[in-house]
Structure 1
Amino acid sequence: MHATDQTFQILLSQLLEKVEDRCPECGSEQYVWQQKNKDGTERCAPTCWSCGYKMLKKHEQQANQQRSQESFMARTQKFFHQGSLIADDALRQCRLTNYQTTELETRQAKERALAAVSAIVEGKPIHVIFSGKPGVGKSHLAISILVEVLERSAYQKYCLFVSYSELLEKLKMSMNESAKSQAKAQAYITRMKKADVLVLDDLGAELGIKNKVSTDFNNDILNRILEARQNKATIFTTNFSGKQLVEAYGTRIISRLMKHANGYVFQYKDTTDKRMRSVK
């Protein structure tokens, strides 16, 4: 053995120690650092000097992948929780698993929702529309789709749930406030344009009972959102029928809303208000 090799071996023996398990790749001995971390854990995984640090590299790759996934998961969850405008906090607990399928129509609605989830995870820019009377479960299914997409995509998609009437209220209130407040309100629009998947909830509710035609301000906001989302996955819920939507917002806006919606429009016709069942 050359002197340099001997010196190197002595140095290694002072810094490293053998472990019982041999390398699963080549059967050679493996080493760890003699000096541990402050908490007593190993500084790195067992390393094989004979086959080129394969275990160490694999361990580091797995650790880096996990850190990357956790970081992305934190960002998408923050985007959803801080950027969403959810009028009813109970919706945050809604999932496909607790959606009540008590009749044929609700079972069909859930099947449509599951089909939408698969399409969105595959990257298709579909538009999903759930329409029908209040309380039939439209918003429940819409937010459930978002949660399911987040989970199935390993939190790789930015998702938002926005109550349209809540959005308009914030925008209107900010008009008479500071520039900072106005910028904060406008940030909702920016996030809605950016989101990979957006739920625009309860479209038409902002018009109230008497008004059935949207205002210019309302149409301008809605048009800005839909223009940015023509080729992005978007889910709409509304109490209006197709005819009522056209009468309220005009053909241009509804044409954008209906883009990529073929096969993903579901209208509740027979389902009763689920919220009233508990008071009967």
Structure 2
Amino acid sequence: MATTFDRAKLDTGALDIRPMTPAIGAEIHGIDLGASDIASRVPEVRAALLKYGVIFFRDQDLTQEQHISFARHFGDLEVHPATPKGQPNPEVLRIAHGPKSRGQENNWHSDVTWREEPSLGSILMAREVPECGGDTCFANMHLAYERLSEQMKRFCEGLTAVHDIARVFAKRLDKAPADLHEKYPPIRHPVIRTHPETGERVVYVNNGFTSHIEGLSKQESEWVLDQLYKTAWDVEIQCRFRWQKGSIAFWDNRVCQHLAVSDYFPAKRVMERVTIAGDRPYF
């Protein structure tokens, strides 16, 4: 059933919003996310997030504590298992690459789909950026769903996929899959999920964390997943953001996939991410 969600009715107040593409993304100007009265602007920002899927802010000078404080207005925060133990602000995940570390986030994915309750969204701040390169691309996975044939929609809407943290983080954290599975066992999510606030249907599998579709043979599962992964590649449902120091991206992880372009090696790129907890996906 088609959604009746109407983005035009969302109240974004007095925000200075400049859409990036018709499909996804908008820059918001003239707002200080570290201001003492930022709580009063949160309803407008939340509406903009729902309307555009990912929103961007320039020239923000936030401390880690301000970054965390702003994110808490949208929900409880997660601590990622890749965060080093003992750091002062465990809610902040530092993602740094340079001459000794090539970027590894250059595939289309939604964050932490290996959790039973994957994140609502992430707020990523640029601390240091290369002179050029290192952009991040975003795709609207509701539009990806809408572009499927009616037959493919009906087929996929009855499927469940398994998501596994070990596919990415066993190597990165130098841990055996079995050790990671003790705390984060493989989890089942619908291949097509419903956005809990908009009611829109969304393609919800990704090449990073999805291992297979239940009930299909290995060959069938791989074929279906490959077709669904490729839906994010459509440039007509994407936007691309060029970072500057102090830029912030806030994306709705329930409807977006993203890809960090790793074209800047061996230059340095340092980002800090705070992630807002979500709820369990459902069809």
Structure having the higher strand fraction is 2
TM-score by shorter chain over 0.5: no
TM band (smaller chain): under 0.3
Structure having the higher helix fraction is 1
Asked which structure has the greater CA Rg, the reply is 1
Q: Which has the higher contact order (CA 8 A, sep 6+)?
A: 2
Per the normalisation by structure 2, the TM-score is: 0.25
Per the normalisation by structure 1, the TM-score is: 0.25
